[in-house]
């Protein structure tokens, strides 16, 4: 199954963001630490006007720590880019972000001369959660439905920083199907745009290859099943996803497996390493608006 999920209004939105960035001192790109390449929209590089950019590897509490370290080293090879692992739900961790913003714009952050920052990212990476934690109150709705934030306001963090509360909602580049499947595995794609069994099989194959130990521990597998389908069946049996007559409901098993994987119940898992994406250039995965149908979850 080919996953396609792309809004038609992207070019206009990018133009507006590019314009808004003129007045911004620091660009904060929120990424999902489990898939920092796939959850990035590489067009941000074209519109960020050489402004300092913080790549925030959010949800690092769910990601494999060793792989997150490798990503930080990889990102910081680019000039003007700084990478920070974070859990946006943790107030104490967001303080590091404030310090980094202040370091990147040392002449700002004084009365009458505020430091202006804007949060960018694809849906579901945790932009609203971050804004709420930084503001210390609920400014933006948090939810599992992509692109739920619609309000337009500025938030004075009362520390010399003004945050634009219109997160730049970028859209994932999904011309590469591995990218699309990793995004689907992470939960970044609305449920109506995907087939749980296909995504579950992709995730099962990945976990068998990369994280067999924690997979075996979680589902008490005596030996690793030979195929992704057999693995989903074993998981379905373990979780009681049965149909009448005692067979396994593979669709329900896939859904339950993905739910556990996304919630970190199997363990801390990263869905890609810098080596996995070598050779996939931003240009290759930039979607062609002419070719892709303008289907979007719309939520």
Which of 13, 20, 139, 142 touches ligand G4P (CB under 6 A)?
Answer: 142
Smallest distance from ligand G4P to CB 195, Å:
21
Asked if 205 is part of the footprint of ligand G4P (rule: CB under 6 A), the reply reads no
Which of 76, 144, 275, 289 touches ligand G4P (CB under 6 A)?
Answer: 144
Residue 33 gets the label, from left (phi > 0), alpha (psi -120 to 50) or beta, of alpha
Nearer to ligand G4P, 43 or 94 (CB): 94
Q: Which of residues 94-133 bind ligand G4P (CB under 6 A)?
A: 121, 123-129
Interface with ligand G4P (CB under 6 A), residue total 20
Smallest distance from ligand G4P to CB 143, Å:
5
CA distances from 105 to 24, 98, 190 (A): 10, 11, 37
From the CA atom positions of the chain, what is the Rg in Å?
20
Which of 10, 88, 234, 241 touches ligand G4P (CB under 6 A)?
Answer: 88
CA distance 239 to 60: 27
Q: Is 20 exposed, middle or buried (0-12, 13-18, 19+ CB in 10 A)?
A: middle
- Residue window 54-83: x/- pattern of binding to ligand G4P, with contact defined by CB under 6 A: ----xx-xx---------------------
- DSSP states along 25-70: SEEEEEEETTSTTTT--TTHHHHSTT--EEEEEE-TTTS-HHHHHH
Contact positions vs ligand G4P (CB under 6 A) = 58-59, 61-62, 87-89, 121, 123-129, 142-144, 146, 149
């Amino acid at each position: 199954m080919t996953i396609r999920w792309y809004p038609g209004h992207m070019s206009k939105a990018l133009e507006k963001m590019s314009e808004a960035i003129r007045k911004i001192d620091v660009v904060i790109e929120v990424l999902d630490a489990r898939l920092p390449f796939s959850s990035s929209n590489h067009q941000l590089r074209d519109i960020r006007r050489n402004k300092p950019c913080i790549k925030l590897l959010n949800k690092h509490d769910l990601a494999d720590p060793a792989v997150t370290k490798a990503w930080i080293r990889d990102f910081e090879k680019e000039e003007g880019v700084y990478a920070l692992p974070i859990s946006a739900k943790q107030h104490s961790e967001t303080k590091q972000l404030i310090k980094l913003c202040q370091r990147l714009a040392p002449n700002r952050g004084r009365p009458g001369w505020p430091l202006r920052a804007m949060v960018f990212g694809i849906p579901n990476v945790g932009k609203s959660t971050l804004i709420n934690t930084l503001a210390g109150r609920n400014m933006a709705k948090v939810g599992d439905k992509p692109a739920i934030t619609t309000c337009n306001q500025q938030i004075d963090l009362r520390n010399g920083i003004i945050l634009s509360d219109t997160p730049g909602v970028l859209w994932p580049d999904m011309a590469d199907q591995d990218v699309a499947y990793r995004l689907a595995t992470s939960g970044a794609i609305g449920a109506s745009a995907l087939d749980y069994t296909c995504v579950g099989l992709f995730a099962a194959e990945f976990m068998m290859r990369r994280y067999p130990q924690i997979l075996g521990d979680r589902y008490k597998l005596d030996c690793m099943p030979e195929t992704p389908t057999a693995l989903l069946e074993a998981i379905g049996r373990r979780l009681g996803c049965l149909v009448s007559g005692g067979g396994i409901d593979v669709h329900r098993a896939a859904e339950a497996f993905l739910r556990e994987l996304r919630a970190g119940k199997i363990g801390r898992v990263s869905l890609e390493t810098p080596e996995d994406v070598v050779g996939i250039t931003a240009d290759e995965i930039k979607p062609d608006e002419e070719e892709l149908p303008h289907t979007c979850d719309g939520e």
